Structure 1
Amino acid sequence: MQAIIATLGYVYSADRREILMIRRDARPDDVHFGKCNGLGGKLEAGEDVVSGMRREILEEAGLTCDALDLAGTISWPGFGRDGANWFGFVFRITEWSGTPLTSNPEGTLAWTPIEDVLAGAVPMWESDRHFLPLVFAENPRVFHGVMPFAAGRALSWGYSEI
């Protein structure tokens, strides 16, 4: 399977109760329009996933990642435009420096209570609710999941932990 390789990061507040999320509200043609998400994007040629995550957080939020850890990976067959396959490395950014931006060309940034995210009180991809409890678990373990998509909806979800 060929896939677009990407990163997805969740920047924690100092008290670890909130995460910095982007509300994709800048471009109406955006497949994510109106939804909130973590930060991240496609890897660039010759870039490792940690460097890619750091670059994306700097570009999208104006922050330097001082400490991050791998939460897991997710294969999203059929997720992208025209059914493109995506493979994402999901990170927790637990220490950072700088002043967070309030917006970027993709949307508005806001600190969001993790409790609200897990309760479904935040507009986001319905399918994110499957893996976010693993990302924000009290005693997290690295997970590797697969979530096939068709017509913009997740068909299933499965994962293994190590």
Structure 2
Amino acid sequence: MQATIATLGYVFSADRKNILMIRRDTRPDDIHFGYYNGLGGKLEPGEDVAACMRREIREEAGLECGTLDFAGTISWPGFGKDGGNWFGFLFRITSWTGTPLSANDEGSLHWMPIADVLAGNLPMWESDRHFLPLVFADSPTPFHGVMPFASGKALSWSYTELS
């Protein structure tokens, strides 16, 4: 399977009760317009996924990552523009330095309570609600998931935990 390789990171507040999220609100033609999401983006040639995650957090939030805690991977067949496949590496970022930006070219940045994220109180991809409990678990276990998409909607969700 050919896929766009990407990273998706969740920056935790010091008390681990909030997550820094982007509200994609700058481009109405953005597939994510109006949704809250973690930070991240596409892997560049010659870059490993950890370097990509660190670069994306620096570019999007103005922060330098300390520890990257690997959360898992998700294969998103059919998710991209024109039905392209995506494969994402997910990280928890629990240590970082700097002062978060208030916005970037893609949207505004906000500290959002994890409880609100998990309760579905934010506009976001409905499909994120399947895997975010795994990312935000008190004792997280890395996982590998598959979430096929068609016409902008998740068709199913399955995963295996690595224990």
Alignment of 1:12-161 (within 5 A): 12-161=12-161
Summarize deviations over 1:100-148 as a string: whole Å, max 9, x none.
0000000000000000000000110000000000000011000000000
Q: Give the TM-score, by structure 1 length.
A: 1.00
Shift of 1:67: 1.1
Letter in 2 for 1:150: A
Rounded to whole Å, the distance in 1 between the matches of 2:46 and 2:29 is 29
Rounded to whole Å, the distance in 2 between the matches of 1:24 and 1:157 is 24
Rounded to whole Å, the distance in 1 between the matches of 2:64 and 2:58 is 6
SS in 2 for 1:50: helix
Give the aligned length: 162
Rounded to whole Å, the distance in 2 between the matches of 1:70 and 1:123 is 25
SS in 1 for 2:66: strand
RMSD: 0.3
Shift of 1:68: 1.2
Rounded to whole Å, the distance in 1 between the matches of 2:61 and 2:105 is 11
Rounded to whole Å, the distance in 1 between the matches of 2:35 and 2:74 is 19
SS in 1 for 2:95: strand
Rounded to whole Å, the distance in 1 between the matches of 2:138 and 2:99 is 27
Uncovered stretches (5+) of structure 1, i.e. residues with no partner:
none
Letter in 1 for 2:26: A
User: Displaced runs of 4+ in structure 1, greater than 3 A?
Assistant: none
Q: Give the TM-score, by structure 2 length.
A: 0.99
Uncovered stretches (5+) of structure 2, i.e. residues with no partner:
none
